[in-house]
Amino acid sequence: MLTRVNEHPRQAAVRHLVTTDGMTRADVLRFIHLAEYLRGLPRERLRQRLPGRVIATLFYEPSTRTRLSFESAALKLGANVVGAENAIENSSAKKGETLADVFRIVGAYADAIVVRHHEPYTMAEAARLSPVPIINAGAGWGEHPTQALLDVYTISRELGRVEGLHVAVMGDLKYGRTVHSLLNLLRLFPGVRVTLLHPASLGLPEPLAHRLRSEGLEMAEATDVAAVLPKVDVVYQTRVQRERLERPEELEGAGQFRIGPRELGLLPEHARILHPLPRVDELDAAVDEDPRAAYFRQAENGLYMRMAILDDLLGGNAV
């Protein structure tokens, strides 16, 4: 929900980014446009966007790319950063403090809070009580909206459009929060077709699949990777979220849904491989040098998209 209004008396309206639900195609395009604009600004002008603002980063789960890209984005815009890594151990969360109280308190110190949390649903409700914008940097197996925005930004940069593309999402679709948010945004673009490739036990949660289909996203299920890859424009590979598995049997068949030199050879020349990273064994390093491997460019795009998100929510000077 991009424009949720909280009820805190200090401010009449605070915008948060805690879910892709409620986002419009215009919202996504605005962020893409702003990311591209900020990408082209000289350093001195960037530092004038959010001078003196304080961004708090609270990470209750491990992160490298998301945390560092948000912190780098804030610094490049002239803001300052305070935060807690491994906050589940190094903050009052260890004493049982609720996320709602954390937002109230940290919101008194900072101008925005970037938070990664292990619970998929807590953040949206707690955000209602925050006096400053809350940005969801990943919530359990639920959503990862800023990753989805940078994923769509990457598709747009790499292929020049999003509309009408055939996108395969492959790997752990059950616990892969980046997939959940990405599909929610892809439904906003006309003509997008999605093929789901996954182990039997790691499919998309049925309520989400049902909702996406009912809202017009064309999705098909497939198991033959070799038959699908020659037909796609984008393949979005994810790792198995082993830390979230409910039972070891869910891993069965996962080895069939990976990308190596053989699968690379099946992709069209124009296609692109995306991956939110980190990778384990589902994406062979042997494909890294191929121009279709876009995942490192995708990670770089995350810096500019997160600059755009901070700039937009904190009222940096518009384009």
Which residues are known catalytic residues?
65-66, 95, 116, 144
* Residues paired with residue 81 on neighbouring β-strands, in sequence order: 55
Q: Is 260 exposed, middle or buried (0-12, 13-18, 19+ CB in 10 A)?
A: middle
- Name residue 298's amino acid: Q
Lookup result for tokens 């789901």: 196
| 155-174 burial code (b ≥16 CB/10 A, e <16) | bbbbeeebeebbbbbbbbbb
Which residues lie across from 116 on neighbouring strands? 59
- Contact between 319 and 29 under an 8 Å Cβ cutoff? The reply is no
Phi, psi of 293 (to 5 degrees): -80, 100
Structure tokens at 97: 């403090």
Q: Using alpha carbons only, what angle is made at residue 303 by residues 194 and 24, rounded to the nearest 5 degrees?
A: 45
- What is the rounded distance in angstroms from the CA atom of residue 295 to the CA atom of residue 317? 30
Residue 303 to residue 148: CA distance in whole angstroms: 13
